[in-house]
Amino acid sequence: EVQLVESGGGLVKPGGSLRLSCAASGFTFSSYSMNWVRQAPGKGLEWVSSISSSSSYIYYADSVKGRFTISRDNAKNSLYLQMNSLRAEDTAVYYCARGRQYYHFLFDPWGQGTLVTVSS
Amino acid sequence: EIVMTQSPATLSVSPGERATLSCRASQSVSSNLAWYQQKPGQAPRLLIYGASTRATGIPARFSGSGSGTEFTLTISSLQSEDFAVYYCQQYNNWPPSTFGQGTKLEIK
C-alpha cells in the first residue's frame, strides 16, 4: 500500500524556520516526482513546490520562492521542505503528494498533512 | 498563470439525486484536468484525471467531461459519503499547477 506520512509541523514565530518531512513507503520512491501542496485554514488548495525523481528539476510557487527549499533523499525514501522566513500567511496544513508518472503535477496519493502555524 | 473557476461555490442536493459541478479554465488546458474530493479533516483524493478517466477504486457514479476550458464533474446518484468539497486542478501549464476554489456539495 502506498503511504505518505508528513511530520515536522508546529507553532513557529514570524521570521522563524521549520523543516517538514514526508516518509514514503509502498512504492519505488526514486521513480516518482514529489510535491508539497498547502491549505490555509478554511481555504482551498495551493501548490507549493515540486521536485523531480532525481532532483534535477525543482519548481516553486512565487509565494514561497527564495524562502522555501524542497529536497529529497531517495536512499531514505524521504521528501523535505525547509521553510525559512516564515510569515503568518504560510499558516496551513502542508500535504506531500506523489506525482503521477508522465504527469508530474497530477497528485496521487496525498499524505494526511502536517499543520504549520506561524504566530507570535 | 491559469486561473481555474468553479461553480457553484455551494451545491445543495438530496441523496439519490444527480449533482453537476462546473470548472472553467482561463485558457485551454486540453484534457489535463483533474478532480479531487476532500472530506472534513482528510486529505484530498484523486477522483478523475484526463478530464474523464476515473482513478483506481472510484465508483462509476462519478464521471467527468469536457476539454479546453469547460469541464464538468457529474455524480449520478448521490450517496451520503459523497457530500464533501470538490476541487478541479489543471496540470497542463506549469508551474504553477492551479486549483479551483472548490465546490462544497451539501445535503439538501
The answer, for A44 touching chain B at a CB cutoff of 8 Å, is yes
Chain A residues lying within 8 Å of B89, measured CB to CB: 45, 107
Within 10 angstroms of residue A43's Cβ, the number of other Cβ atoms is 12
d(CA A32, CA A12) in angstroms, rounded, equals 31
The answer, for B57 touching chain A at a CB cutoff of 8 Å, is no
Question: Could you tell me which residues are beta bridge partners of residue A107?
Answer: A99
At A6 the pLDDT is 98
The mean pLDDT value of chain B amounts to: 97
Annotate A70-86 with DSSP letters as a single string. EEEETTTTEEEEEE-S-
How are beta strands B19-25 and B62-67 bridged, if at all? unpaired
Is A46 within 8 Å of B94 when comparing Cβ atoms?
Answer: no
Q: Can you list the residues of chain A whose pLDDT is less than 70?
A: none
Q: In what order do the strands lie in the sheet with B4-7?
A: B4-7, B19-25, B70-75, B62-67
At B82 the pLDDT is 96
- The pair phi, psi for residue A110, each rounded to 5°, is -115, 150
State percent of chain B over pLDDT 70: 100
At A23 the pLDDT is 98
The answer, for B47 touching chain A at a CB cutoff of 8 Å, is no
Chain B residues lying within 8 Å of A100, measured CB to CB: 49
Q: Which of B32, B43, B102 sits opposite A110 (nearest CB)?
A: B43
d(CA B64, CA B47) in angstroms, rounded, equals 9
At B80, the pLDDT band (50, 70, 90 cuts) reads very high
Q: How many CB pairs under 8 A join A and B?
A: 58
- Cell numbers given for A116: 504549520
How are beta strands A18-25 and A78-83 bridged, if at all? antiparallel
At B57 the pLDDT is 96
Is A47 within 8 Å of B43 when comparing Cβ atoms?
Answer: no
At A102 the pLDDT is 83
At A103 the pLDDT is 86
Is the confidence at residue B44, as pLDDT, over 90? yes
At A104 the pLDDT is 86
